[in-house]
Copies of this chain bind each other. A is one copy, B any other.
Amino acid sequence: MNSMEKISQFREERNWRQFHNEKDLALSISLEAAELLELFQWKTSEEALKNPERLKEELADVLIYSYMMADNLGFDIDGIITEKLEKNTIKYPVENSKGNKKKYTELSQ
């Protein structure tokens, strides 16, 4: 079983799909992203990385809700990632954006 199927099985077994309207899923992705971000509050990256177990769990929560959203909307995970990378490739051509932080921050806004 792949990750999408495992996540689907998890919510089917609990009959939770009925509660998973897309607005609350989007809200949940934001909340899990905040829990991940909280591990970095008042810390440098290095300090935060001393606790990989919590990072793993919170990142997994972001992914699980994101997969549920994709499932609800009939999106294929690899498909939408590939499509978006193709758009980004046009938006940030290698020759303009290579290794320049100033350019990078301006380009990425």
How far, in Å, is A4 (CB) from chain B's closest CB? Answer: 9
Contact of A41 among B28, B61, B78, B99 (CB under 8 A): B28
- State the CA gap A72–B49 with chains docked (Å): 11
Q: What's the tally of chain A residues with a CB closer than 8 Å to chain B?
A: 73
Q: What is the count of identical protomers in the complex?
A: 4
Main secondary structure of the interface of A (DSSP, over half): helix
Interchain CB contact under 8 A, B62 and A62: yes
B31 near A105: Cβ-Cβ < 8 Å = no
- Provide the residues of chain B in CB contact with A81, threshold 8 Å: 3, 6-7, 60, 63-64, 67
- Residues of A bordering B, CB below 8 Å: 2-3, 6-7, 10, 13-16, 18-19, 21-24, 26-31, 33-45, 48-49, 52, 55-57, 59-64, 66-67, 69-70, 73, 75, 77-78, 80-85, 87-89, 92, 94, 97-99, 101, 104-105, 108-109
17 contacts between A and B (CB under 8 A): A7-B85, A15-B99, A19-B101, A22-B49, A23-B43, A23-B45, A30-B37, A34-B35, A38-B109, A42-B105, A52-B73, A56-B84, A57-B84, A57-B87, A60-B83, A60-B84, A63-B77
